[in-house]
Amino acid sequence: MLIEQLINGLTLGSIYVVVALGYTLVFGVLNIVNMGHGEIFMFGAFMGVIVTNSLGLPLYVAFLVAIIVTGILGYFLERFALRPLRGKEGVSHLAPLISTIGVSIFLENAAHHFFGAGNQPFRTSFSELNITIGSTTVYYVQILIFVIAILLMFGLTFWLSKTKAGKALRASAENLAVASLLGVNTKRVITQTVIIASAMGGIAGILVGIAFNSVNPQMGLSFGLKGLAIIILGGLGNVRGAMAGGLILGLSETFLVAYGNSGYRDAIAFIAIIVILIVRPQGLFGTSTSKSKG
């Protein structure tokens, strides 16, 4: 039972990680919390439902479609909800937060309209495949989810630290005006970042679909809130922090249910935040110098 619960926790944690990475990327560059991310994630999950269930196509097509559609949604989000507010005189720094909340409400209702209110099944034979070691059953899906989360984290770290685009992104994160003076096309960097973050949301959506077979228009909210909790836990804008925070949250939720009272499951994320904010306000991996950014 311990090992099975450990695997359950790692699966849930890995999904949290992928959701949180999307938040942390946008926050790292733009210093805003993208409240629409949870709903973009939900749209990714619905793309999976349409591709695997309605069209009966294989799983990798679902990944491709979800990445493309959520990427496009990310572009629209940046183009219509963020760009018009950027660099304008007299725009409050809270305005982008509010406009992304607007996007989230719009997307949730759109999903409600197009896909219906209830849960949609996610049919793929892949979710049945498993190996049994001793008394423990491990599903390939669970391994896949864990591997994808790890790959995304390392890929993102590598991209940010080693590639030119990544360096441009970090420069823009440091200071938009200076980066722009030094020849970085900051407009493109920002658009690119939001698109990549949204595509990661799409991937996370598919992962939830195959892991839990539960896709509905309201799922964006609960996963979105958990994602926010994780980036505060791990340190805002920090990739390793998102990874650690996600796994910690997934494991602690699972073990709380396994050995404690399942009624407190959703409380644990927020209890953890309160504790972290008291003990280490910058988050587990955050650095206090990041304050100077704003």
Partner 1 sequence: MNKRIKLLFSVLMVFSLVVLTACGNNTKDAGDKEIGADGAVKAKIGVISYLTGPGAGYGEAITNGLKLANKELKEAGEVDLELKIEDSAGKQEEALSAAQKLMNSDNVDAIIGPTLSTEMFVVGPEAELNGVPIMGTSNTAEGVPQLGEYVFRNSIPETLAIPASVQKAIEKYDVKKVAILYGNDDVFTKAGYDVMKKVAEDLNLEVVTTETFQLGQSDYKAQLTKIKNLNPDLILASALYNEGAVILDQARKMGLDVPFVGGNGFNSPEVIKIAGEASNGLIVATPWFAHKDDEKVKSFVKNYKEAYGVEPDQFAAQAYDGLYLMAEAVKNAGVADRDEIRDALAAIKDFKGVLGTMSFDEDGDIVMEPTVLIIEGNEYIVFE
Q: Point out which residues bind partner 1 (CB under 8 A).
A: 1, 4-5, 8-9, 11-12, 118-121, 123, 127-128, 137, 139, 208, 211-214, 216, 218-219, 221-223, 253-255, 257-258, 261-263, 265-266
The least distance separating partner 1 from the CB of residue 37, rounded to whole angstroms, comes to 17
For residue 123, the number of C-alpha atoms closer than 13 Å in the C-beta half-sphere is 6
The least distance separating partner 1 from the CB of residue 250, rounded to whole angstroms, comes to 9
Residue number, 184 or 206, with CB nearest to partner 1:
206
Please name which of 192, 277, 170, 204 lies closest in space to residue 21, comparing C-alpha atoms: 204
Residue number, 196 or 269, with CB nearest to partner 1:
269
Residue number, 208 or 239, with CB nearest to partner 1:
208
Question: Containing H/E element for 210?
Answer: helix 186-212
The least distance separating partner 1 from the CB of residue 184, rounded to whole angstroms, comes to 39
The least distance separating partner 1 from the CB of residue 79, rounded to whole angstroms, comes to 30
Rounded CA gap, 235 and 281, in Å? 9
Residue number, 45 or 232, with CB nearest to partner 1:
45
Bridge partners, 131 (sequence order): 138
The least distance separating partner 1 from the CB of residue 216, rounded to whole angstroms, comes to 7
Residue number, 98 or 129, with CB nearest to partner 1:
129
Residue number, 89 or 128, with CB nearest to partner 1:
128
The least distance separating partner 1 from the CB of residue 1, rounded to whole angstroms, comes to 4
Residues in CB range of 51: below 8 A, 6 or more apart: 57, 61, 62, 65, 66
Please name which of 89, 73, 78 lies closest in space to residue 199, comparing C-alpha atoms: 73
Please name which of 59, 10, 159, 146 lies closest in space to residue 2, comparing C-alpha atoms: 10
Q: How far is CA 288 from CA 21, 236, 270, in A?
A: 20, 11, 22
Q: Is 202 helix (H, G, I), strand (E, B) or coil?
A: helix
